[in-house]
Amino acid sequence: MPHHPDRLTPASPHVWALTVKEMTILYGTARAVDAVSLQVAPGEVVALLGPSGCGKSTLLRGVAGLEPLAGGSVSWDGADLAGVATHRRGFGLMFQDGQLFPHMTVGANVAFGLRMAGMGRTARRAAADAWLALVGLDGYADRDVATLSGGEAQRVALARALAPRPRLLLLDEPLSALDADLRVELAGVVRGALTSAGTGALWVTHDAAEAAAADRVLRMAGGRLVADPRGDGGAASPRSALR
């Protein structure tokens, strides 16, 4: 799978879109996320790589506004998101199980966010068809969700997450339920769709092969980021981060 180390190499904090500063999240007295800082540039794909229980999914939920912060901040383009509800942050979410609506067709699932945004029926259908084609499911719009394989369901979930054009996509172990070969294949599909859409992402995974699809890979352990070997705010290349 190709790497993209030169696609975005931010040289200044002024170009960061997402900034997480000293984020701390507590579960009781335990520090699930312990003073973590990271940044994502516009259109950049950053992977958070680490074992189960290291705090990476909790961090992602903190960025989304789904977990309260005990300390630190999350900002977008310099604007603090404290007090901004999850649905008003402009971020897309994609989870391990896809969370498709079983009573809707594939096309209706993809078009759901567009319908909520007030897009007309004809335009929604055309947009859903286009996004399905982008993830390799051309002609699937009228299919029943129950007929999909696991990989197909995750492609639909990806199309649905990207259709409203989020300013950042948050991916929480989106491929972990799939077998190894399919994970590698779909990691390329996810990366290609993000690139085509021009959408940046924060991508949580425990799989190094999956993480290699990102522009940068940051490791987490024990609620903290492993020290960045370049010391420049998390701009390590995939190759250096995966050693």
Segment among 7-11, 133-137, 177-181 with least mean pLDDT? 7-11
Q: What string of H, E and C letters represents the secondary structure of the chain?
A: CCCCCCCCCCCCHHHCCEEEEEEEEEECCEEEEEEEEEEECCCCEEEEECCCCCCHHHHHHHHHCCCCCCEEEEEECCEECCCCCHHHCCEEEECCCCCCCCCCEHHHHHCHHHHHCCCCHHHHHHHHHHHHHHCCCCCCCCCEHHHCCHHHHHHHHHHHHHCCCCCEEEEECCCCCCCHHHHHHHHHHHHHHHHHHCCEEEEEECCHHHHCCCCEEEEEECCEECCCCCCCCCCCCHHHHCC
pLDDT at position 243 is: 37
pLDDT at position 179 is: 86
At residue 41, does pLDDT exceed 90? yes
For the stretch 191-234, pLDDT in tens is 999 999 999 999 999 999 999 999 999 999 999 998 654 444 44
- Predicted TM-score of the model (pTM): 0.84
pLDDT at position 227 is: 64
